[in-house]
Amino acid sequence: MYIDINLLPRELRPKKAALLFNLQALLVLLIIIAAAVMGGYCYYINKNIQAKDAEKQSLLKQQMLLKETVELQQQVDELKGKVLERVNIIKDLTANSDLRFAMLQHINSILPENLWLINIVESTSGNEISYTIEGMSYTKEDISSFLLGLEKYDKFKNVSLKSITPSPMEIRDAYQYVVDVELVTYKPPEPPKEQKLPSKKTKTAEK
């Protein structure tokens, strides 16, 4: 039978319990470090998630603002279109108003004594404006004089007698007439064409 006897003094004997304690402390320290690292990483990830959420919310707000801006711009464009439409209507109603007033003044000034007007109708075709003048007279000579007066007006062109018929509604002999005239529309003058200066090479060649 074998018996193991340690003959070394106690102070020289290896301390196994202390070594085991050191290993346990190191393991606990490693666990604490790992937990701290994992906690820091989780905190970093959480911060990134919060930052992404804040960025997402900011983008959503910007998207909503952009949508509201686009809708507001559409409303402004619609209102602008309606205003332009009304402006164009007013322009059409007042276009050449001075010319029309002068035309009526001229017609009134050339009316013979025994001739009067019943109706004046304006019609447009493209850029051309024409008038149909209806009236009555007791003599054909007055109708002819009225036509001559219309032809002398520089704002009229293509003056023509469309019809002349006896009027059964008058006790005296009377004639109903219809005259067509066209209004001379204003055309702005064309800009002068630029004249090209002769080049220096041409002058040298001529010398």
Tens of pLDDT along 127-160? 788 899 999 998 899 999 999 999 998 888 889 9
Whole-angstrom distance, CA of residue 117 vs CA of residue 134: 6
Going by pLDDT thresholds of 50, 70 and 90, the confidence category of residue 26 is confident
Residue 70 main-chain phi, psi, to 5 deg: -65, -45
- Structure confidence at residue 90 (pLDDT): 47
Considering the chain, what is the average pLDDT of its residues? 76
Least confident range from 14-23, 35-44, 162-171: namely 14-23
pLDDT, tens digit, for every residue of 56-72? Answer: 888 888 888 888 888 87
Average pLDDT over residues 155-172: 82
Which stretches does DSSP call E strand in the chain? Answer: 115-125, 128-137, 156-166, 175-183
Assess contact for 160 and 180: CB atoms under 8 A.
Answer: yes
- Strands 156-166 and 175-183 turn out to be antiparallel
Residue 75, C-beta contacts closer than 8 angstroms, at least 6 positions apart: none
pLDDT at 206 over 60: no
